[in-house]
Structure 1
Amino acid sequence: MDHATPAPAQPTTGPPLARERIVDVAYGLFARRGIRGVGVDEIIARSGVAKATFYRHFRSKDELAIAFLERRDRLWTTDAVVAEARRRGGGGESALLAIFDVFDEWFHREDFEACSFINVLVEMGPGHPLGRASIEYLARIRTHLAVLAREAGLRDPEGFARSWHILMKGSIVSATEGDPTAARLARQMAVWLIESHRAPPAP
């Protein structure tokens, strides 16, 4: 499984692909350096498009950053984490625990870049449009977790998803601090959380 930032698309002269080239380049830059650390001129230069072409597709850097977050949700949340956890665990409790197996591999990668939604939220603040968008994408993660909790027959799936998400986010922060074993520790706590939410046996 590959959590690495996708390589930018090869330059092409086809106008329909200009937007994708811009998003490809911005994806890698924003994921590694944040939003404020990347300028529009650099994105334009690396994309190989004219300034007029850039602004034809994106009215501002913030609008491009929204496209970045949308792609991050699809590539990271949906494909790299949820779909991969389901592939490994099948569903229910096993899929939930497999999330931390996926994280463990991710945390040991040299190109580990943490969670862009958390990064952008901290960088821009919850009152900024990008901060609000990040909050919405983080909420989507909890929706996926609640679905897995229901499949596992756990009590209070929404409450469980909130607690599980805290473990996920905490392990990411710990890995960012320099602890590559954080996912394994979080997985141990995750087992206890599952046990506390199992429905009691029928009388």
Structure 2
Amino acid sequence: MADGTSGDGRDGSGPARAGDRIRAAARELFYSRGIRGVGVDEIVARAGVTKPSLYRGFASKDALVVACLEDYDSGLRRRLDEALAAHSDDPRAGLMAFLSGIAGRSARPGFRGCGLTNALVEYPEADHPARAAVLASKRALHARLAEVARTIGARTPEPLADALLLLIEGAFACGQIFGAEGPNRSLAAAAEALIAASLE
């Protein structure tokens, strides 16, 4: 699932706790069907728990939505961290590995875009907690991209971060629209050209 995490136990050993099962079920349902199209009854049925179990862990459906958005965010951050760590001596290569990963995931069958961006579309209300969670995630990603841009020596790190985030969001959208044969497959090449220009 795009921008999601595993439904297993937090430590990877043994069965997942009820709260983890609820989050995993909600993430899958929200991503495949949309948040507002999924009710609490369906979530607890998928998770194999009771409704009181859900409300013991989450004060409301909105609170569960925010928790799932935080999971999506954690997954995205983890993939960037792992890509950079795998190329610790070459942050440019790490950034490109992260972007190539997005391009690859956006071409998979069943890809429905970014779970965070989808939530923002579903919740246009400026004061909704889901919207606040998404904006915080996207701003954090932009800040991290700017940090990497500075590390690789970009002349204008903030504009490069702007451009990279535009490409990422475009790849998320194009993957959902076109699938494997869309412009999303050119994400890495387009990013490479922008990065090269920013270093000249």
TM-score, normalising length: structure 1 = 0.83
- Deviation string 1:152-178 (CA, Å, 9 cap, x unpaired) is 011222221111100111111111111
Kindly indicate whether residue 84 of structure 2 is the aligned counterpart of residue 86 of structure 1.
Answer: yes
3-state SS of the aligned residue for 1:178?
A: helix
3-state SS of the aligned residue for 1:177?
A: helix
Mapping for residues 38-49 of structure 1, pairs under 5 Å: 38-49=38-49
Percentage of identical aligned residues = 32
Paired residues in the alignment total 192
Question: Against the structure 1 CA distance between its residues 197 and 184, is the aligned structure 2 distance closer, same or farther, given a 3 Å change threshold?
Answer: same
Tell me if the contact between 1:84 and 1:102 (Cα under 8 Å) persists in the aligned partners: no
CA distance in 1, matches of 2:192, 2:20: 41
2:162 maps to 162
Q: Which has the higher contact order (CA 8 A, sep 6+)?
A: 2
3-state SS of the aligned residue for 2:104?
A: helix
State the 1:111 CA deviation. Answer: 3.3
TM-score, normalising length: structure 2 = 0.84
State the 1:139 CA deviation. Answer: 1.1
Question: Against the structure 1 CA distance between its residues 34 and 100, is the aligned structure 2 distance closer, same or farther, given a 3 Å change threshold?
Answer: same
- Deviation string 1:92-117 (CA, Å, 9 cap, x unpaired) is 32222223321232123223231011
Computed over aligned residues only, the root mean square deviation of the Cα atoms, in angstroms, reads: 2.5
2:12 maps to none
2:110 maps to 111
Q: Is the radius of gyration larger for structure 1 or structure 2?
A: 1
Give 5+ residue unaligned stretches, structure 1.
11-15
1:184 maps to 185
Tell me if the contact between 2:109 and 2:179 (Cα under 8 Å) persists in the aligned partners: no
1:13 maps to none
